[in-house]
Amino acid sequence: MSAHEAEQNHDAYLPNNEGNTTPPIEATTPQEVSSSGDLEFKNRLDLSELQKSVSQIRAEVGKVIVGQKDMVNLLIAALLAKGHTLIEGVPGVAKTVTAKLLSKALSVDFSRIQFTPDLMPSDILGTSVFNLKISEFEFKKGPIFSNMVLIDEINRAPAKTQAALFEVMEEQQITIDGHRYSLETPFMVLATQNPVEQEGTYRLPEAQLDRFLFKIDVSYPNLDEEIEILSREHDLKAKTKTGQIESFLTAQQIAKYQNLVNQVIVEKPLLKYIAELIVATRSNRFLYLGASPRASIAVLKASKAFAAMEGRDFVTPEDIKRAVTPVLHHRVIVTPEREMEGVTSKQIIDQIIETVEIPR
């Protein structure tokens, strides 16, 4: 977005009580965002530190990962929006490595769970063990009790194990033996799955898919990126990939940034725009299942995160359009007839974005 467009969007979506005639309110810690000639505007929120941290995360992950900028940006946005992410791609496209590198850049607790067909809910959540010394049962926490949890090949576990994630992903807590255990903030689930291999896998329940803020499709690198990958691997020698990453962002800083994202301004016409996009999925004749109200909330949170990452304290239609596809395409179901014709959910969502009028 150019500086001139940013200035126009700021004027269009600057909140006030009577249209857009009220002059901007000075912030306590103002931050200059854009200037063109004599025209300037300033943020109400100081997002400079957040922007710097986002750039640093990109730089740290970029030490190892070649390309995949969209995936990295979506992972950062999900972290800022307090969301979970499902990463889908064929084997070998750095799904797991990217998730591990992101966690390494954050100075928070990290755990990895390899999902298998014989995995039980207690293997994830934990279990009560009888302590002979005190003659009482003690709860031993499972690997889900962490700030960032990487679930590798999530579609390999059966429905009973998948259901164990429902409460913790939505409410950041688990209930075992009548006791409720809360997880620390931040809490984020990064799950990977392979779309090609079907043997020994289980389709994720729709209710669980709905709990992922984003679904990220990871594609193959192009020729230049492939050459760069080989060059970096050759230069790596005896070093490890994660050894190059520096941890710098603490849990307290992440919580602070998440609070800032919550304060990003969204004007009422844009709230209506989000609602119209979501409602359009429910009446589309090519979709068997439309998006839920949880999806509209997800679009709202994601668009706020994208705006903050760009250094703006207000959301624009472009932020919303950027969030719609990764938020919706795993939540809607294409009708069997259209699916047989090769129509994808992404194509239908793109069509909906084009047909819904953008507020001016």
Residues paired with 217 in a beta bridge = 88
Residue 200 CA to residue 206 CA, distance in Å, equals: 19
State percent of the chain over pLDDT 90.
31
Length of the chain: 360
> For residues 212 and 205, is the Cβ–Cβ distance under 8 A?
no
Residue the block writes with tokens 């939540």 = 331
pLDDT of residue 10: 47
Domains of the chain: 51-249 (3.40.50.300), 263-360 (1.10.8.80)
pLDDT of residue 360: 76
Tokens of 50: 């957040």
The mean pLDDT of 39-54, rounded to a whole number, is 77
Q: Which residue has the higher pLDDT, 40 or 312?
A: 312
Q: Which residue has the higher pLDDT, 337 or 27?
A: 337
pLDDT of residue 238: 64
From the CA atom positions of the chain, what is the Rg in Å?
22
Residues paired with 110 in a beta bridge = 148
pLDDT of residue 295: 93
The mean pLDDT of 251-270, rounded to a whole number, is 92
Q: What's the Cα-to-Cα distance from 103 to each of 10, 64, 290, rounded to whole Å?
A: 34, 14, 33
pLDDT digits (tens, 9 = 90+) for 139-187: 888 899 999 999 999 888 888 888 888 888 888 888 887 888 888 888 9
Chain center to CA of 36: 33
State the average pLDDT for the chain.
83
Nearest to 41 by CA among 77, 69, 3: 3
The mean pLDDT of 117-134, rounded to a whole number, is 86
Residue 31 CA to residue 47 CA, distance in Å, equals: 7
pLDDT of residue 198: 67
Is it the case that residue 34 has pLDDT exceeding 50? no
pLDDT digits (tens, 9 = 90+) for 282-339: 988 999 888 999 999 999 999 999 999 998 989 999 999 999 999 999 999 999 998 8
The mean pLDDT of 249-264, rounded to a whole number, is 90
Residue 360 CA to residue 344 CA, distance in Å, equals: 30
Tokens of 224: 């230049």
